[in-house]
Amino acid sequence: MLTWRASAVVCLILASLLTAPAVVAPTSPTATPASSTATSSASVPLESVPATNTPSPTPLSTHNELELTTALDRTPDRVGEITATVTAEIPSQFTELTLELPAGAQVVATSGFTRTADGDVAWDSNSNPATVTYRIDATVRSGADQPGAEGSYRFADTANWSLVQIPSVGDISGRIVGDDPEIVRKTTVAGPGVAGDRIAFLGPSEQRTQTAHGQRFTLVVPEAADLKAEPREIFESVTAASDRLRVGARDDEVLMIAAPTGDIEWAVRGIQTGDSDFWVRADEPLDTPANNWVHEYVHTRQDYSAAADARWITEATATYYAALLTLEADRVEFDRFQRFLAQGEDEPQASAVMTDPDTWENFANYRKGSLVAGDLDRRIRVATDGEASLDTVIRAINSHEGELTARDVSGYIDRIAGEGVASETDAATTATTVGDMWGSDAHVAAFGGEPARFAFRFADDTPLSVNGTSRPLPAAGENLTVAVNETVSVGVTVENVGGTTGDYQLPFNVGDYETTQTGRLSPGETTTHRFDQRFTESGSYRIAVGGEEIRVTATENATTTRPPINVPTQIEVPGFGVAVAVSALLLVTRIWLQRSG
């Protein structure tokens, strides 16, 4: 239930050999849990220093990346610890390099690195690659701090498996000459297991994947885990949530780990950390308003940094959406949904003030918070005749620049649903009381008309053409090959599959370039957009549109004249999830954010 965000901000402090000023540039490593290896990269802006009279150490890598690979290994003879070996491949512009090791790391071997007085490791300016191996305590304990919490473990190493935070190096400092380097982080697992960007599982397991709505979901089921829900149903639950939540961009990869429960008493029912890694206790059910698989997934869709008076939103909306989406999936009846949210009416949580975390007793941010969030959703739908919902507010929040405050939230609600709803929400979040849970009639009145939702599919007539000539869509895993200077045209049909009129955004991406088409559709109405892209240079390109992608290879040797080809029609693309954009405020630029809760 808790969301942990990147706790180690990496600072690269690099300066010339001749000058004292340092350049500090934060990097935010991410990773891809595609197998047992995770990779991330960050471009680091640095001041270039002339190389005059500055020797270049050898031998060194000639590429422009500082590549740090952390290999994780179990230590069965030392239960509670794991071993990490960091291998640094160092580009030629580095003359000095120091790595900050994780707190509590016990160095057991180095090659090309030496220990410093403050416990870090410094490069000898000659060896390449350089390595450092250290043992670290993999166990993270805490007191119970969420509903249903038992035991004391958040992360643990046992005699047979390890579910751990990835112990990456922290601050990186040094001196460079020449071009700015790029930092690339990778995590691998020695033996069976899988690594995400913040969490790794070490031990025998089965991995299953499913792609939906532009996301690739990986479910890791350890041999030691007794999974209560069927993997197929877990995928159905989280992918339905992926489609239903129209709150902003989705992560490309989602790593879900079923935490074994036989050997460990977990302090929490689940933890989400980093961009999109989370674990959930293997014995968690799906047919409950407290659907923790959905709860943790919702956390992956929260992208904001909240001040104390807006922090309640994180757990409140994750708890509310888990219940609402489970209701909408027909996994629970309304009376169970109603009783679940009505927990917020009980003391002592009912007396808590949502904008004051010091008053949160008995998990008030979950219990009272979810009731307040749900009532806000209901009021927005009523005030806007179903054209907006809580999704609209969360999308605005996710696009917020800087720290999010309660005043900011109120301003977004005002612009979306009016001053009256904003005032009512301000009162609800600052009061020591709470309104009653709404009944079934009020629910039907507010939620019966589903908000606008948009599905995207390739156009029925000529979904793909090259220089005006129709072409078949490439099969999964295959590329569309075109000649340099040919133009690829992609047609996409948008349909409002929701219950009310609403606005949509349809982005078209080719590499780093993006353009967006917008429009407004009534329920059941469709329209078609075409996107044209001319490829002037040879290479491999990724076209992403409507949540799906096409790989294009442009080559000088491609045949430029092709006969027309009949294209199959009714090619469906899963719902992409471009959220309803009710006002221009939803177009605010996304930023890198910190989550908590």
pLDDT per position as a tens digit, 235-256: 999 999 999 999 999 999 999 9
pLDDT per position as a tens digit, 212-225: 999 999 999 999 99
User: Which segments of 342-480 does DSSP mark as H helices, in order?
Assistant: 364-383, 390-398, 406-417, 419-430, 440-447
Contact 141, 154 (CB under 8 A): yes
pLDDT per position as a tens digit, 471-485: 888 887 788 999 999
- For 566-591, what is the mean pLDDT? 33
**Dihedral sign of CA atoms 255, 260, 264, 270 in order:** positive
* Residue whose C-alpha is closest to residue 215's, from 242, 248, 188, 183: 242
Contact 94, 128 (CB under 8 A): no
Indicate the pTM of the whole model.
0.70
For residue 88, pLDDT beyond 90: yes
Contact 208, 231 (CB under 8 A): yes
DSSP lists the bridge partners of residue 25 as: 12
Identify the pLDDT of residue 559: 52
Could you give the CA distance from residue 332 to residue 327 in angstroms, rounded to a whole number?
Answer: 5
- For 405-410, what is the mean pLDDT? 98
* Residue whose C-alpha is closest to residue 115's, from 136, 93, 91, 132: 132
Could you give the CA distance from residue 537 to residue 326 in angstroms, rounded to a whole number?
Answer: 48
**Dihedral sign of CA atoms 177, 179, 180, 185 in order:** negative
Rounded to the nearest integer, the mean pLDDT of the chain is 83
Identify the pLDDT of residue 68: 95
Query: Percent of the chain at pLDDT above 90?
Result: 62
Identify the pLDDT of residue 449: 58
- For 161-178, what is the mean pLDDT? 92
Gyration radius of the chain's alpha carbons: 26
For residue 26, pLDDT beyond 50: no
Identify the pLDDT of residue 323: 97
For residue 232, pLDDT beyond 60: yes
